[in-house]
Amino acid sequence: MRLMSPGKLAVPLLLPLLLIGSASQVVVGQNTTNFPHIGHVDRFDSALDALIAEDATIEVLCGGFDWAEGPVWVPEEGNPQGGYVLFSDIPHNAVMKWQEGVGVSVYMKPAGYTGVADYGREPGSNGLALDALGRLVSCEHGDRRISRLTKGGGKVTLADRWEGKRFNSPNDLAIHSDGDIYFTDPIYGLPQRENDPLRELDFCGVYRWQPDGTVTLQSKEMSRPNGIGFSPDEKTLYVANSDGRDPRWRAFPVQADGNLGTPRTFFDASSDDRIPRGGGDGLKVDVHGNVFATGPGGVLVLSPAGKLLGRIVTGERIANVGWGNDGSVLYLTSDMYLCRIQTKTTGAGRR
């Protein structure tokens, strides 16, 4: 989902690799380690210094995308630093792959819509995650489902409806250690959004999928549920609301049976005058319970108590984040760019 203004800010960069035009275009690789830097880190509290070094920089790894989303790190077996990043380019209906020393390429296309008719501006996949077996799980806009990529390369539909009605457009997901998948379902992937004639549900929900195929509605009180992630002990599920009229992140207690209890407000962007009022998109949590949440102006760094410690600012809108490498590198999908920043912490769960 695109946050803030629809216009893009021009960033004068000579990128080491630039993807131009269609996402299906062949791309020349790169082997540079001298990536250009953009943006800055706002420091609102000294506690941020334990999470992000004062000299940390935001590196642009590749660019030229229409709207990048859902980064996930795919590790190389036996090599904690080896692997690659997968991320969605939603308008191009593609999942892209970036690897150090190689560059960017198309990993999967189509990625979120397999029909033959036009399906609006955002047909592709959105949030991505790996399950316990390393299989790619995708939120798909156009096909309106949660899918899993098999080791043989085929896709399996995990869920595409609740009580016989099709989802709006699954947006983001978090996978519990027991295999349950919790996901959000706003309207951003529908061609006409809330007014789309294909829409079958009159609310935007938070759902739970269980490995036996059971799908249960966990919440329908949020106007635009979006980013989602667990606390390190998996006793709390954080959910962002991308509605600027209600720019609050909720914290849901995860009950013993796996269902969600009544949420509390974790952070309200309208209550802090250091940042603009605005809703949230993707989020991830570190091993200490700090929440790295995309929101007004960048990635908000929130303490386990919901205190705003700082903000990672690229100068572009940021859709989502994901931990990578040994767990200490935070990858950012920032509008047309894939970026990263080295942290002094590590991600919780990393799925």
Answer whether residue 4 is part of any domain: no
Answer whether residue 93 is part of any domain: yes
Residue pair 156/214 in contact by the 8 Å Cβ criterion: no
Predicted local distance difference test score (pLDDT) of residue 81: 72
Answer whether residue 320 is part of any domain: no
**Mean pLDDT, residues 24-32 taken together:** 48
Q: What percent of the chain has pLDDT over 70?
A: 90
Answer whether residue 79 is part of any domain: yes
Spatial distance between the Cα atoms of 277 and 282, rounded to a whole number of angstroms:
17
Query: Taking the complete model, does pTM exceed 0.85, yes or no?
Result: yes
Answer whether residue 23 is part of any domain: no
Answer whether residue 261 is part of any domain: yes
Structural domains counted in the chain = 1
Residue pair 290/253 in contact by the 8 Å Cβ criterion: no
DSSP state of 48: G
Answer whether residue 288 is part of any domain: no
Q: In the predicted model, is pLDDT for residue 243 greater than 50?
A: yes
**CATH code of residue 177:** 2.120.10.30
Answer whether residue 239 is part of any domain: yes
- Domain residues for the domain of 183 are 69-283
| DSSP conformation letters of 148-210 | EE-TTS-EEEEE-EETTEE-S----EEE-TTS-EEEEE-STTSTTGGG-TT---SS-EEEEE-
Q: How many CB atoms lie within 10 A of CB 184?
A: 31
Pair type for strands 94-99 and 79-89: antiparallel
Spatial distance between the Cα atoms of 206 and 216, rounded to a whole number of angstroms:
9
Quick: pLDDT tens for 53-62: 999 999 999 9
Contacts of 212 (CB under 8 A, 6+ apart): none
Quick: pLDDT tens for 135-192: 999 999 999 999 999 988 999 999 999 999 999 999 999 999 999 999 999 999 999 9
Q: In the predicted model, is pLDDT for residue 126 greater than 90?
A: yes
Radius of gyration of the chain (CA): 18
Quick: pLDDT tens for 226-238: 999 999 999 999 9
Chain CA centroid to CA 32, Å:
26
Of the two residues 27 and 220, the one the predictor is more confident about is 220
**Mean pLDDT, residues 34-59 taken together:** 96
Quick: pLDDT tens for 70-119: 999 999 988 777 899 999 999 999 999 999 999 999 999 999 999 999 99
